[in-house]
Amino acid sequence: MDNTIVNRAADNIRILSVAMVERAKSGHPGGAMGGADFINILYSEFLNFDPDDMTWCNRDRFFLDPGHMSSMLYSVLALAGNYSIEDLKNFRQWKSPTPGHPELDVSRGIENTSGPLGQGHAMAVGAAIAERFFVARFGEWISHKIYTFISDGGIQEEISQGAGRIAGYLGLSNLIMFFDSNDIQLSTVTDDVSNEDTAKKYESWGWRVITIDGNNADEIRYALRKANDEKEKPFLIIGKTIMGKGAVTENGESFENEVSTHGQPLSNAGASIEKTIKNLGGDLENPFMIFPDVANYYRKVNERKMSNVYKKKALQKEWEEKNPVLSKKLHKFLSGEIPDIDFTEISQKENVATRVASGTVLSYFAKKIENMIVMSADLSNSDKTEGFLNETKAFTRNDFSGAFLQAGVAELTMASIANGMALHGIISVCGTFFVFSDYMKPAVRLAALMELPVKYVWTHDSFRVGEDGPTHQPVEQEAQIRLMEHLKNHSGNNSVLVLRPADTAETTIAWKMALENTLSPTALILSRQKVKDIPAKQNSSRFSDAVNAQKGAYIVQDVDGTPDIILVASGSEVSTLIEGAEKLRKEKGLKIRVVSAISEGLFRNQPVEYQEEIIPYDVPVLGFTAGLPVTLQGLVGSFGKSIGMNHFGYSAPADVLNEKFGYTADNVCKQIEIYLNEFKNNKKDIKHKNSILIEI
C-alpha cells in the first residue's frame, strides 16, 4: 500500500503537536511526535465512530492513558473535524477546550479525563467489561472495540498489574492496547529504572502480544488487523517508537530520542522548532495548518466512517423492531435514567451493622436494577457486597451474564475500572474497608473531576474494627474524604457526596441518596459492628424519620423550647449520644437536642433558614466523632466543641476500645458537663480548638 498520504497526515499531527506546545510555552511534544503514526492509522482506518455524533452509543472507544500526550490527541481530532485551528492555538489556556491534559468531552471525542498515569488504561478495562456486559444482554450487534494507548510510565505504575491481570483473566478480546515504547520518560531513559520483559509479563497474564516498529504504517496496520481478529485474549501491541521523531537541531542534525523533548517545548529542549517544522514538511510561517491533501484524505475517511455507521445503525434498527422490549430496556440503560425503586419495600433487621443493612439494600438492587455492576477487592463477605453477589454471579472468561466483578486485592485498579464502567453507562459500585480507601483516592479524585456517579461502599469505618489493630482502624480517613464535600466540581456541585448513616433506616435512605445522585461520586461509610437503631419519633416510623437525612442533617431527638445543648454526630456515635442524652435528661433535667449529620456537605447546601433551625448559632453545640475532631468542626462552629480521636487505634475488642477511648454514654455525660461549664464561664469569647477525648 502507498503510505505517502498516510505518512504526511502523521507528520501533520507532529507539526500541530509541537506548534501547540511551543505556542503555550509548556507541554510534552516528544511523545506526541513518536505516537503520531499509530494514532493516525487508528483514527483513519480502524476506530469506528460517527463523525456527526461522537456520542453514538455503538462507537469504538479510545482511552488515552498518558494525558501529557494530549496535543497528539487534539491534533488527530482536529483532522477528523472535532477541533478548530483556533482551539489548537489556545492549547493550555483559560477556558480552552484543549486543556493541558484531556478532560472528558465525549462530544469532541475525549472519552476520559487522563493525566495520572495508569488510570486511563484501567478505565479502558472497565469499559471493555461493560461492553461485554451489554453484549451478553442485547447481542453481538452492539459489540465494539475498546482501544487504549499507554506509555512507559503507565506500564511502570502499579495499577498496570491489576488492570493487566483482570483483563487477561476475563479474556477481554475486545480490548486492544498500544504500548508507545520509546524507552524514554520524563527525567531519564527507561533502562535506568527497569529491565523487565514487558511482553512476557503480559503474556503471563493471558494477553496476546506482538512487537512492531511503532512508526511504520504497514506494521501498525498489520498489528491492528491481528488485534481485531483476536477472539480469546486482550491484545497488546508493543510499538517501538522514536521519541521526538522528526526533531532536528539548528544545524539540521537529528534530535530524536532525547530525554529533553519529553516535557518541554522543542526550542527549550535543544532542538530547532523552525528546522523541525521544515523537516516535517510544514510551513514555517503557519505551522497551525491542516495540509489540503491531508484535509481531503480525512474527508474521505469520514465518508467511509459514515457509510459504516449507516450500516450499523440499520442493523440496530432492525434489531429494535424485532426486540421492542429489549430495545426499550437498552434505551433506558443508555439514558442514564434511574430505575424507580420503592425503598419502603426493603425490610431491614433491627440493630444490625450498617454494612449488613447495606448488603440488604444491595440484595434488593440485584433484583431491580439491571444496569448495575458491583465489585469488591476480595472482601465481598466482609463489606457485604455479597448481598448483591448472592443474587447474581461473578464475571468469568466468556461469561458476562452476571453482574459482579471479583477484583482481587487491587483497590486502585477496581476504582479506575468502576470509572470506566460509569463512562460506558453502567451504575458501578465498588467495596472495600474504609482504611483502604487510601489506595483508591487517585481514582476517586478523577471520578469527582469527571462527575461520574460511582458508588463507594467503605465498611469497617472506625477504631471499632477492634482486634485487627491500628493498621485497619480508620481515624483520619473520614476527615480526608469529607474535604471533597467542600471542593466544587466544574459544574459547581459538591465534588463528592459523603454519607455515614447512623442506623439501618438511614442506611436505606443513604442508598436512596446514592442512587439518585447522578452529579458526582457517592461514598457510603459503614460500620463493622452492630449499631442500635434510633428510636422513632412519636406517631411516626423510623424510616419516615430517616427520610430527613436527605437534607444532610436533621433532628432525631428534640425538646420543647430552646435546648440547653445540641449534640451532633454521624454513624455509630449518634446512638451513643442518644444514650448519654437520656441519662442527663433524667439526672440533670437538661434539655438536649440530638442531630444526626449524615453529610455536612449536603447540609450546607440547604437554605440557611433550615441550617439555623437545626443547629442555631446561639446554642452550645457539642460534636462527637470516632474520627479526627476536625471532621465535625464545621458543624459545631466557632463556639462549639468537637470531640474525637487524635491518635491511632490499638488492637483490642471493640467494647474495650470504646471504654478506653471514652466512647460511652457516661463519658458523653461527662463531656457535656465540662463543655457547658466552659461555655457558661466564657460565654462572650469562648472559641474552642478541636478537642480530644483521651490522650494515651
Query: The domain that contains 614 carries what CATH number?
Result: 3.40.50.920
User: C-alpha distances in angstroms, 151 versus 101, 198, 653?
Assistant: 15, 12, 47
Radius of gyration of the chain (CA): 28
Q: Is there a single domain that holds both residue 82 and residue 221?
A: yes
What integer pLDDT is reported at residue 193 of this predicted model?
95
Query: Would 318 be classed as within a structural domain?
Result: no
Q: Is there a single domain that holds both residue 410 and residue 458?
A: yes
**Where do we find the cell 437498552?**
330
State pTM to two decimals: 0.96
Contact 108, 62 (CB under 8 A): no
Per-residue burial over 627-637, b if 16 or more Cβ lie within 10 Å, else e, is bbbbbbbbbbb
Query: Would 181 be classed as within a structural domain?
Result: yes
Distance (Å, whole) CA 92 – CA 24: 6
What is the domain count for the chain? Answer: 3
pLDDT (tens digit per residue) in 41-90: 999 999 999 999 999 999 999 999 999 999 999 999 999 999 999 999 99
Output the nine-digit C-alpha cell for 388: 448483591
Q: Is there a single domain that holds both residue 72 and residue 158?
A: yes
Query: Would 543 be classed as within a structural domain?
Result: no
Output the nine-digit C-alpha cell for 448: 469527582
Q: Is there a single domain that holds both residue 589 and residue 664?
A: yes
pLDDT (tens digit per residue) in 302-335: 999 999 999 999 999 999 999 999 999 999 999 9
* 231: number of Cβ within 10 Å: 8
Q: Is there a single domain that holds both residue 292 and residue 222?
A: yes
Percent of the chain that is helix, strand, coil (3-state, to 5): 50, 15, 40
Any idea of the CA torsion for 466, 469, 471, 474, to the nearest 10 degrees?
A: 30
- Determine the structural domain holding residue 629 and report its residue range: 548-692
Distance (Å, whole) CA 147 – CA 61: 6
Query: Would 33 be classed as within a structural domain?
Result: yes
Could you tell me where the beta strands, DSSP code E, fall in 183-232?
208-213
Q: Is there a single domain that holds both residue 511 and residue 563?
A: no
What integer pLDDT is reported at residue 265 of this predicted model?
97
Contact 373, 421 (CB under 8 A): yes
> If the chain, 696 residues long, is cut into consecutive pieces of 10 residues, what is the mean pLDDT of each piece?
95 98 98 98 98 97 98 98 98 98 98 97 98 98 98 97 98 98 94 96 98 98 98 98 98 97 97 98 95 98 97 96 96 90 97 98 97 98 98 98 98 98 98 98 98 98 97 98 97 98 98 97 98 96 97 97 97 98 95 98 98 95 97 93 96 97 96 92 56 45
Domain boundary (279, 306, 333) is at 306
Query: Would 330 be classed as within a structural domain?
Result: no
Q: What is the DSSP string of 273-298?
A: HHHHHHHTT--SS--S---HHHHHHH
Query: Would 214 be classed as within a structural domain?
Result: yes
Q: Is there a single domain that holds both residue 509 and residue 609?
A: no
Q: Is there a single domain that holds both residue 593 and residue 679?
A: yes
Tell me the residue type at 590. L
Query: Would 313 be classed as within a structural domain?
Result: no
What integer pLDDT is reported at residue 316 of this predicted model?
95
- Tell me, what CATH number does 159's domain have? 3.40.50.970
Order of strands across the sheet that contains 175-181? 61-64, 146-151, 175-181, 235-240, 208-213
Distance (Å, whole) CA 614 – CA 67: 45
Active-site annotation, residues: 411
Q: Is there a single domain that holds both residue 272 and residue 349?
A: no
Q: Is there a single domain that holds both residue 463 and residue 598?
A: no
Residue ranges of alpha helices (H) inside 539-648 are 542-546, 573-588, 600-604, 608-614, 630-636
Q: Is there a single domain that holds both residue 368 and residue 244?
A: no
Q: Is there a single domain that holds both residue 472 and residue 607?
A: no
